Structure 1
Amino acid sequence: MNRFTASTVFRRLLTRNTTMTAPVWKPQDHVPQEVKDLLQSSGDNHVLAFLHIVQLLKVQRRTGWLDHNISPCESIADHMYRMGITAMLIRDPKINRDKCVRIALVHDIAEALVGDITPLDPVGKEEKHRREWETIQYLCEDLVKPYNAQAAQEIMDDWLAYENIASPEARYVKDIDKFEMLVQCFEYEKLQNGKRDLDQFWGAMSSIKTEEVKGWAQDLLRKREQFYDSLEK
Structure 2
Amino acid sequence: MNDQRPAPGNANDLLRLLSRAERLEALPRTGWQICGVERPESIAAHVHGVMLVALWLADHHPEPTPDAERVMRIALVHDLSEAMLTDLPRPVKQLLGKEAVDRAEEQAADHILATLPSWRDAYREYREGKTLEARIVKVADRIQMLAKALEYRQQKRGDISRFFDDDETFDDRGVEPARAIFDALRTCYREGRWFDFHFD
**TM-score when scaled to structure 1?**
0.70
Aligned residue for 2:188? 223
Verify: 1:176 aligned to 2:140, yes or no: yes
Output the amino acid matched with 1:138. H
Contact residue 179 and residue 217 of structure 1 kept, 8 A: yes
2:103 is aligned, of 126, 130, 141, to: 130
Cα–Cα, structure 1 residues 226 and 113, in superposed 2: closer, same or farther, change >3 Å?
Answer: same
Verify: 1:206 aligned to 2:170, yes or no: yes
Contact residue 57 and residue 75 of structure 1 kept, 8 A: yes
Cα–Cα, structure 1 residues 219 and 132, in superposed 2: closer, same or farther, change >3 Å?
Answer: same
Cα–Cα, structure 1 residues 86 and 215, in superposed 2: closer, same or farther, change >3 Å?
Answer: same
Deviations 1:173-194 (A, max 9, x none): 11111111000000001100xx
Cα–Cα, structure 1 residues 174 and 96, in superposed 2: closer, same or farther, change >3 Å?
Answer: same
Instruction: Report deviation, 1:97.
Output: 1.9
Output the amino acid matched with 2:48. Y
Aligned residue for 1:59? 26
Verify: 1:96 aligned to 2:63, yes or no: no
Contact residue 117 and residue 123 of structure 1 kept, 8 A: no
Contact residue 178 and residue 208 of structure 1 kept, 8 A: no
Query: What is the rounded CA distance, in whole Å, between the counterparts of 2:187 and 2:179 in structure 1?
Result: 12
Deviations 1:170-225 (A, max 9, x none): 11111111111000000001100xx8431111125433322311211111221222
Query: What is the rounded CA distance, in whole Å, between the counterparts of 1:130 and 1:184 in structure 2?
Result: 28
Output the amino acid matched with 1:159. Y
Structure 1 gaps of 5+ residues are 1-41, 146-151, 229-233
Correspondences of 1:15-94 after superposition (within 5 Å): 45-90=12-57, 91-93=60-62, 94=65
Contact residue 205 and residue 217 of structure 1 kept, 8 A: no
* Greater relative contact order (CA < 8 Å, ≥ 6 in sequence): 2
Contact residue 103 and residue 173 of structure 1 kept, 8 A: yes
Greater Rg over alpha carbons, structure: 1
Query: What is the rounded CA distance, in whole Å, between the counterparts of 1:190 and 1:113 in structure 2?
Result: 32
Aligned residue for 1:113? 84
Output the amino acid matched with 2:183. Q
Deviations 1:16-55 (A, max 9, x none): xxxxxxxxxxxxxxxxxxxxxxxxxx99633222211111
Output the amino acid matched with 1:215. A
Query: What is the rounded CA distance, in whole Å, between the counterparts of 2:56 and 2:66 in structure 1?
Result: 11
Query: What is the rounded CA distance, in whole Å, between the counterparts of 2:109 and 2:158 in structure 1?
Result: 35
Once the two structures are aligned, what percentage of the paired residues are identical?
Answer: 26
Instruction: Give the superposed CA RMSD.
Output: 2.0
Instruction: Report deviation, 1:138.
Output: 1.1
Contact residue 142 and residue 170 of structure 2 kept, 8 A: no
Instruction: Report deviation, 1:123.
Output: 2.4
Contact residue 140 and residue 156 of structure 1 kept, 8 A: yes
